[in-house]
Amino acid sequence: MFKGSITALITPFKNGEVDEEGFQSFVDWQINEGSHGVVPVGTTGESPTLNHDEHKRVVELCIDVAKGRVPVIAGAGSNSTEEAVDFTKHAKAAGADGVLHVCPYYNKPTQEGLYLHFKEIAECADIPVIIYNIPGRSVVDMSNETMAKLSKLPNIAGVKDATCDLARPLNSRLECEEGFVQLSGEDATIGAFLGQGGDGCISVTSNVAPKLCSEMHEAWQARDLDGFAERRDRLAPLHDALFCETSPAPVKYAAHLLGKSDPKCRLPIAPLSEQGQETVRKAMVKVGLIN
């Protein structure tokens, strides 16, 4: 169910509030451009600064416009297990196809704490759970042993791997249960990740290049290696530019250049600097997304 180019959606704002119409238009554009799935209210969607009502509303808006055309994996993570369970139950009731759960940040749980956290989430609702392992933001790294143990539980469906460790997808493939889905959280290394046994990418870049990203993954799945390499290489400058400053400031500015979103993020994410704007603009031109 979960493979290919899956967009980690931005959350557009208007006058400081969620731009509901703009968001739904953006999701519809993503699907029409060929994205294979969407993730509302992940980190790229500024989940840390959305209140709980906004969080749930954005999930509902996404599901409403997707209408089953592609899977919706709702961001539902928290460093509070109780809160993560609440978001998971809401996503299930709203009609999401899966939930994405970051390893609890700031708390620095042990491996046993991670196991118990995800076990409780997996048991609270009958919905596929994707583990989001991103040590750079959460400060805790789930071991392969813990992930393999979790993969045996019903509803634990896969991982979004943002460790930048390209041995992980191969080792996880060998250690986890058959069918455990492996999605990259790093656009820039997607070629190597797929080659090591990955299934797809939860992508920042596909916010602004959904067609190119989806075509790249479809070429890989068809074993059209020349077509895959052409798109991989063409997208490379954009991957770097969209992380020239703290995400999602660069990608929201890039979406603004396409007329898809206000560029503003909520504090403490600062507006993109003039240098950052020039970096993003040059990359967008080089890739052929703007003139």
pLDDT per position as a tens digit, 182-232? 999 999 999 999 999 999 999 999 999 999 999 999 999 999 999 999 999
Res 146: pLDDT: 98
User: Which residue from 182, 179, 258, 193 is spatially nearest to 228, judged by alpha carbons?
Assistant: 193
pLDDT (tens digit, 9 = 90+) per residue, 240-285?
Answer: 999 999 999 999 999 999 999 999 999 999 999 999 999 999 999 9
Residues in the chain: 291
Mean of the per-residue pLDDT values of the chain:
97
If you compute the radius of gyration of the chain from its CA atoms, what whole number of angstroms results? 18
Res 1: pLDDT: 81
Cα dihedral: 207, 20, 137, 263 (round 10): 60
Residue spans per domain, the chain:
4-235
Question: Hey, what CATH topology would domain 4-235 get?
Answer: TIM Barrel (3.20.20)
Amino acid identity at 148: A
When pLDDT is averaged across residues 43-70 and rounded to a whole number, the result is 98
pLDDT over threshold 90, residue 102: yes
Which pTM value belongs to this model? 0.97
Percent of the chain at pLDDT > 90 equals 100
Res 211: pLDDT: 98
Positions marked active-site: 132, 160
